[in-house]
């Protein structure tokens, strides 16, 4: 099995972090810690102000986290069939 590419790792991280962000906002709002009504006005999918801002930061974090995640995947030895 080949190790994942940096792009594959970053994509998986973006998916996980996006889900975590959305779940966290929902949980905070349900707990009464925040009122996200105003945020939702400009967080309405691709091209909306806050969605694009959040996505940009998640992608930035994912790209920078790849090197740390990469260390979890051992480099196969030359000639190894693994």
pLDDT, position 78: 62
62: exposed, middle or buried (C-beta count within 10 Å: 0-12, 13-18, 19+)? buried
Is 60 exceeded by the pLDDT of residue 79?
A: no
What is the structure's pLDDT at 81? Answer: 57
CA atoms of 1 and 22, how far apart (whole Å): 33
pLDDT at 36 over 80: yes
For the chain, give the mean pLDDT. Answer: 88
Domain residue spans in the chain? 6-70
Q: For the segment 3-16, what is each residue's pLDDT rounded down to a tens digit?
A: 788 999 999 999 99
Least confident of 19-33, 35-49, 50-64: 35-49
């Amino acid at each position: 099995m080949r190790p994942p590419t940096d792009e594959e790792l970053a994509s998986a991280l973006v998916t996980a972090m996006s889900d975590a962000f959305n779940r966290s906002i929902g949980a905070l709002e349900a707990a009464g810690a925040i009122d996200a009504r105003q945020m939702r006005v400009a967080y309405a999918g691709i091209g909306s102000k806050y969605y694009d801002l959040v996505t940009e930061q998640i992608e930035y974090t994912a790209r920078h986290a790849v090197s740390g995640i990469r260390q979890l995947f051992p480099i196969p030895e030359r000639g190894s069939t693994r």
